[in-house]
Amino acid sequence: MPEPTAPRRGLSLDVYAVALALLLALLVRLNLIPSIKW
Amino acid sequence: MATAANTTTPLSQSEPASLGRRIVALIPGLLLLAAVGYAGKFIEQSIAAYTKSHHITFPNIEYVLWAIVIGLLISNTVGVPRVFQPGVATYEFWLKAGIVLLGSRFLLGDVLHLGGISLLLVAVALTLSLTFMHILGRTFKLKPKLTSLLAVGSSICGVSAIIAAKPAIDADDEDASYAIAAILALGAISLFTFPLIGHSLHLSDKAYGLWAGLAVDNTAEATAAGALYSDAAGKVAVLAKTSRNALIGFIVLGYAIYWASRGQAQAVTNKAEFLWRKFPKFVLGFLLISLLATLSFFSKPQLASIANLSRWAFLLTFAGVGLRTSFRELGKQGWRPFAVGAIGEVFIALVTLGLVYGADRFLHL
């Protein structure tokens, strides 16, 4: 039976998504990207 | 397409391919997501411009619906060719990034108020729905672990919850596929039925958003079902769904302990580590951005830019929702898991609707 608490290899998808979102927010804060239109 | 494999992205795969090659493999699918999403936006804007210039009264159909419908048309006619699939599978990545960025549109006080109400309602709905799903599973003679997966998927948070629960309760791949297929099929149906019911009941944006966030299973579908109603409802739906997602670790831990006590899964040795591993980290990102917005870390134009970045991320997500839904594949999974899921969903939708009505009246949403 596999160990259910065995850690998975690599970082989870969530961590990459959070990192990208925070990076984008920081770039906006530092005015390093132009204002984003919708 | 309705398999666990679809819910992972190449970013977290451990295949021995170089990072550069994996990133290149994402490009065709990303372009397809952007094309389908932008086509939806273009159709919405074109219809709005045409009806306005010709003085025609026509309800605004959000780009969300167009993007999903175009995606569904592609996936259920010509299909999504293999070369596009890795990029299309990133739709969940964009969903999570979009949710984090959406935190900029909430003051922390609102998050705590609405999130607190959501958690309270989730706790009540969860208790009722888990009990009901297990009764249904026994009635329809489903395997107990398949019932557990369906209960987790329909009451807490869809596919992610099933994937989190599968190894913890040592369920079969086949059971997980059935449960995921049922949840995905029901999510697709919710997308079209929830806004219709919300409009016919004249629900406010907040009440509808809370209902969609509490009752629609998958985060992508809950976000889309909210956005289909209105922008404000979409915001509230994401917040309610995020509160629900935050409970995933506790529910999965409960099931892991239950199945371990019956000798059918390995015991959980470190509960705190288990909870942290199952906790959706994007919830923390969402709270952090909301805190920064509350502390005026961003100027007003910057907040508008971040909110628009979130919209673009959701545009890719909604395109992915349509592109990954294949009715033929979903139909292959058998009717019993679907029937249990469907009856359970109707029950959960009614219970949460009643709770939202009560909350709107007594807790002033």
- Two tokens at B309? 């970045």
Question: Do B118 and B239 contact (CB within 8 A), yes or no?
Answer: yes
Number of structural domains (chain B) is 1
Least confident of A17-21, A23-27, B25-29, B151-155: B151-155
Is position B11 within any domain? Answer: no
Q: Please tell me the distance from the alpha carbon of residue B106 to that of residue B340, in angstroms, as a whole number.
A: 37
Domain span at residue B155 reads 20-362
Residue B148's pLDDT is what? Answer: 84
Which phi and psi angles does B47 have, rounded to 5°?
A: -65, -45
B29 vs B75: CA distance, rounded Å? 13
Task: Using the predicted structure, report yes or no on whether residue B65 has a pLDDT greater than 90.
Answer: no
pLDDT of B89 > 60? The answer is: yes
Please check whether residue B325 lies inside any domain of the structure.
yes
**A9: chain B residues, CB-CB within 8 Å:** 14
| pLDDT score for B182 | 77
B258 confidence band (pLDDT: 50, 70, 90): confident
* Statement: residue B20 has pLDDT above 90: no
What length is written for chain B?
Answer: 365
Q: Report CA-CA distances (Å) from B213 to B114, B115, B205, B206, B354.
A: 11, 11, 12, 10, 14
Q: What pLDDT was estimated at residue B8?
A: 41
Residues of B in contact with A15 (CB under 8 A): 281
Q: How confident is the model at residue B3 (pLDDT cuts 50, 70, 90)?
A: very low
Q: pLDDT for B25-35, tens place per residue?
A: 999 999 999 99
Helices (H), chain A: 13-29
Disruptive mutation site among A1, A28, A33, A37 for chain B (greatest number of B CBs within 10 Å) = A28
Over its C-alpha atoms, chain A yields an Rg (Å, rounded) of 17
CB B35 within 8 A of CB B209: no
pLDDT per residue as tens digits for the range B91-135: 989 999 999 999 998 888 888 888 888 888 888 888 888 888 888
CA B1 from centre of chain: 17
Other beta carbons within 10 Å of B81: 12
Confidence of residue A22 (pLDDT cuts 50, 70, 90): very high
Residue A4's pLDDT band (cuts 50, 70, 90): very low
- Is residue B1 in some structural domain? no
B213: its two tokens: 């966030």
Report the pLDDT value the prediction gives residue B171, as an integer from 0 to 100. Answer: 78
The answer to whether residue B10 scores a pLDDT higher than 50 is: no
Q: What's the pLDDT band for A11 if we cut at 50, 70, 90?
A: low
Residue in B218, B229, B235, B94 with CA at minimum distance from that of residue B153: B218
ipTM of the complex: 0.81
Residue of B265, B195, B262 lying closest to A1 (CA atoms): B265
Query: Is residue B308 situated within a structural domain?
Result: yes
Q: Distance between CA atoms of B252 and B123, rounded to whole angstroms?
A: 14
| Span B319-345, pLDDT tens digits | 998 898 888 777 776 777 778 878 888
- Cβ-Cβ contacts under 8 Å, A21 against chain B: 96-98, 100-101, 282, 285, 289
A5–B269 CB contact, under 8 Å: yes
The whole-model pTM stands at 0.81
- What pLDDT was estimated at residue B16? 58
Question: Domain for residue B148, yes or no?
Answer: yes
The answer to whether residue A30 neighbours chain B at the CB level (below 8 Å) is no
Q: Which two tokens stand for residue B184?
A: 């995905």
Answer yes or no: is B8 within a domain.
Answer: no
Across the range B263-276, mean pLDDT stands at 83
Token pair listed for B335: 């009717």
- DSSP letter string, B2-55: -SGGGGS-GGG---S--HHHHHHHHHHHHHHHHHHHHHHHHHHHHHHHHHHHTT
Helix (H, G, I), strand (E, B) or coil at B277: helix
pLDDT of residue A9: 46
B273: chain A residues, CB-CB within 8 Å: 5
Average per-residue pLDDT for chain B: 85
Domain membership of residue B3 (yes or no) is: no
Buried b (16+ CB within 10 A) or exposed e, B237-250: bbbbbbbbbbbbbe
Is B324 domain-assigned? Answer: yes
| Interchain proximity B100–A22, CB inside 8 Å | yes
Radius of gyration from C-alpha coordinates of chain B: 20
Nearest to B194 by CA among B151, B157, B228: B228
